[in-house]
Amino acid sequence: MLRKTKAMNRLKVGVLGATGAVGQKFIRLLADHPWFEIAAVAASSRSAGKPYAEAAHWIEPIPVPEAVAGMTVRACEPEALPEVDFVFSGMDAAVAGDIERRFAEAGIPVVTNARNYRREAHVPLLVPEVNPDHIAQIAHQTFDPSGRGFIVTNPNCVCVPLVLSLKPLADAFGIDSVVVTSMQAVSGAGYPGVPSLDILGNVVPYIGGEEEKIMWEPLKLMGELQADGTVQNSTIGIHASAYRVPVVEGHLLSVLVKLATPGVSEQDAQQAYADWQSPLAGLDLPSAPEQPVLLYDEPRFPQPKLHAPNENGMQVTMGRLRKAGLFDFAYTALGHNTIRGAAGGAVLNAEMLVAKKRIRSRN
């Protein structure tokens, strides 16, 4: 259930790549959203022209929402979605770049899960609780001369729990370096995902392209916004190893952290988490978790099966915060990869953009 928020006229949204795994998650999360109404679904030429329920190989654990099931799938072109106020993109990166650009150039904001524009100088890479000020980059984008169309991205599904779990320590003590090992669920590979003979009873110690994203994206997320609308990347040193494990949902991270401040005690670190306040407090965003980061005392927690669904899949959970030899601290972190790390993160981005009046009705 989404949080109860103030009533407002719902904005009309389109979902690009609506038949894929991420697109389906968007459909599910938006089905009862108090601020957003699905007005159009769009996908590849293979699906265009078909009823959504026929075009989508539905894999979500609820029925296809009735309001969407009978919608005709449209082409992923701005002229095919004239009534929408903005679009969510769950498209594959192989096709997302040009299509998302055309929507932005047509004056339609794009909130995307795809990676194509994450490194663009004036495109925000956004986790709202970590770098909400980066939305100011939108004003420097040149996709649409009127300034109405723009692109905002959310990061890789490992980077979300990583930066959220680091944020309280970074604010309190600064961070020098991080070593992270990610144990990533099979749903992160999309559908049909990893072949069963590769993953059942096994661990695959390599995910192509993943480690590079984990080592770079947090630097932009935790970087400083500059007057020219660019971001000066953080200088934190990050080393990452990514593993695919036989878990359906929930990416589990083992993290080692060296702080910029010497002599921080375990009690000091725990207090930093207790004291940290989300910058979203008071914005009344429907998808925002009440407690974005939860640190458990129980050493067996967090576990993907038990805790990935916390707060509708939007909470990052942590455990085993302890002193760590060559580094200052070690801990475990967990995030729901297809909700907080993908579609849910994008929905939260859009909610903040509405609250900050960056997205408005076109009427």
159 noted as active-site residue: no
Type of residue numbered 357: K
- For 177-244, give the DSSP string: EEEEEEEE-GGGG-SS-S-HHHHTT--B---TTHHHHHHHHHHHHTSEE-TTS-EE----EEEEEEEE
Q: Which of 33, 122, 134, 251 is catalytic?
A: 251
Q: How far apart are alpha carbons 93 and 115 in whole angstroms?
A: 6
Q: Which of 304, 115, 334 is nearest to 210 (CA)?
A: 115
Q: Which of 76, 134, 157, 159 is catalytic?
A: 157
Q: Which of 86, 88, 100 is nearest to 148 (CA)?
A: 86
Residue 36: strand pairing partners: 11
Report the SS3 class of residue 43: strand
Which residue is it, tokens 């654990």? 61
User: Residue 333: enclosing H or E segment and its boundaries?
Assistant: strand 329-335
- For 286-308, give the DSSP string: TT--SSSEEE-SSTT---HHHHT
157 noted as active-site residue: yes
| HSE-up of residue 9 (Cα within 13 Å, Cβ side) | 6
Type of residue numbered 197: L
Backbone dihedral angles phi then psi of residue 211, each to the nearest 5 degrees? -65, -35
Q: Annotated active-site positions, please?
A: 157, 251
